Amino acid sequence: MKHTIGIIIILIFLASCSNQHYTIIRDVNVFDGENVLEDVDFVFTQSGIERISKKKKSYKNSTIIDGKGKTILPPLINAHVHVRSSENLKEAQKVGIFGMLDMFSIDSRANGLRVYNDSTAYSKFYSSNVGATPPGGHGTQFGINIPTINDTISPSQFVKDRVAQNADYIKITNEFSMSRLDTIQLKELINEAHNHNKITVAHISDLQNGLEVINQNIDGLAHIWYRSNSISKERDLNLLRAKEVFVIPTLSVIIKVINHANEIGLKDDYLTLDELKNEVRKLKNKGICILAGTDSPNYNMNYTTQFFEELLLLSECGLTEIEVLKSATTNIYEKFHLEEFNRLEVNRKSSFLLVTGKPYLRIEDIMNEKRIWKNGIEIS
């Protein structure tokens, strides 16, 4: 009886394999998240990636796509946004941004947007929910009633409350121009977050405020510093490297801040654009991990093409094409522990972009026409 059941199971498996539909993208270039493979066949099904090889192989029930002169990329992630509605997630997914890291939303909005996370049509939503800030701190200026760290809510309790509200990581504000948490509060926040296995990210605009949170073992900075006199020294960069801190430069929004300041006569309050880009260049040269994010929708930035513009800006700071692509993919997967996303390898999910051109050699090609597959289904 057991023998008969075993044979039946094998026959069912073989039948399912024979009915499997394969898609073969021939002679395509693949950036797998770490390395580039040129002129290979990329074979996949809805179950996952079947094969990546220079050797040709035929499959029954297959569709063949000419990949000559095109490149397959892993899912892109925008590491700094503020999502306002489900439409933002849909817009992003259509252009190949598979994940959005929201950096400050009230708990109810964040949980409402998480409902879309199992949908093929929507980018995966991650959020810190409400950021940790004191009364009068960054995040309180928008006229929305939010919990703050005060006489009745301790840093530890704040973290526990966010964890209970499904926060994916903990955002902490340490803004130069507003009320700030003290060193003891920062330390307690970060320690409590780490006790709950949550990544911590800090909003900063001034280098010294960045160093304060780095000394308390923050995991990452949500912006690069851009206030006047925020010119990093070798010892500062060594500290970031030693602590393995990642930085999301958000050049898109900071350049707009600086340009606006110049227009209204406040240019002395900020770095020049050349100084700003040089600070990013120093991070790259020191080997500090850089993640790509825009801070949309500030300054009316969109959730689609602005991300590609951000990648071009990172390239202007001296990042190689491969480094730029990693900043938008595997660097983010790794630093935020995004288990849903991986390098493009056999038996992994068949979710990826097919881009016309070779962005691993010419990053401007990232702006070109794209086809998008999610779990083996073409969606755009």
DSSP run (H or E) holding 30: strand 22-31
Q: Kindly state whether residue 315 falls inside one of the protein's structural domains.
A: yes
Look at strands 220-221 and 246-247 and give their pairing: parallel
Q: Are residues 85 and 138 in the same domain?
A: yes
pLDDT beyond 70 at 7: no
Domain of 353, CATH number, reads 2.30.40.10
Measuring CA to CA, which residue among 333, 325, 376 is closest to residue 355? 325
**How far is Cα 54 from Cα 307, in angstroms, rounded to an integer?**
32
Write down the pTM of the prediction: 0.94
**How far is Cα 191 from Cα 113, in angstroms, rounded to an integer?**
28
CB 209 within 8 A of CB 186: no
Total domains in the chain come to: 2
pLDDT score of 318: 99
Q: Which amino acid does the sequence have at 44?
A: F
Terminal-to-terminal C-alpha distance of the chain: 49
Output the DSSP codes for 228-272.
TT----HHHHHHHHHHT-EE---HHHHHHHHHHHHHTT-GGGB--
**How far is Cα 14 from Cα 174, in angstroms, rounded to an integer?**
59
Question: How distant is the alpha carbon of residue 286 from its chain centre?
Answer: 21
- Residue 43: CB atoms within 10 Å: 21
Q: 5 versus 183: which is more confidently predicted? A: 183
Tens digit of pLDDT for each residue in 192-217? 999 999 999 999 999 999 999 999 99
pLDDT score of 219: 99
Here the tokens at position 293 are 């994010």
**How far is Cα 78 from Cα 95, in angstroms, rounded to an integer?**
12
Measuring CA to CA, which residue among 151, 196, 144, 200 is closest to residue 172? 200
Measuring CA to CA, which residue among 287, 213, 288, 221 is closest to residue 254? 221
pLDDT score of 53: 98
Tens digit of pLDDT for each residue in 55-91? 999 999 999 999 999 999 999 999 999 999 999 999 9
Q: Are residues 233 and 330 in the same domain?
A: yes
Q: Kindly state whether residue 116 falls inside one of the protein's structural domains.
A: yes
270-273 contacts at long range (C-beta below 8 A, 24 or more positions apart): 270/226, 270/227, 270/228, 271/226, 271/227, 271/228, 271/230, 271/231
Domain that holds residue 216: 76-335
pLDDT beyond 70 at 18: no
Q: Are residues 227 and 276 in the same domain?
A: yes
Q: Are residues 361 and 313 in the same domain?
A: no
Q: Are residues 32 and 100 in the same domain?
A: no
Tens digit of pLDDT for each residue in 81-111? 999 999 999 999 999 999 999 999 999 999 9
pLDDT score of 10: 46
**How far is Cα 368 from Cα 350, in angstroms, rounded to an integer?**
21
Q: Are residues 48 and 144 in the same domain?
A: no
pLDDT score of 138: 83
pLDDT score of 8: 45
Residue 74 preceded by cis peptide, ω within 30? no
Q: Are residues 294 and 350 in the same domain?
A: no
pLDDT score of 3: 55
**How far is Cα 15 from Cα 58, in angstroms, rounded to an integer?**
18
pLDDT beyond 80 at 17: no
DSSP run (H or E) holding 91: helix 86-94
Q: Kindly state whether residue 17 falls inside one of the protein's structural domains.
A: no
Tens digit of pLDDT for each residue in 22-41? 999 999 999 999 999 999 99
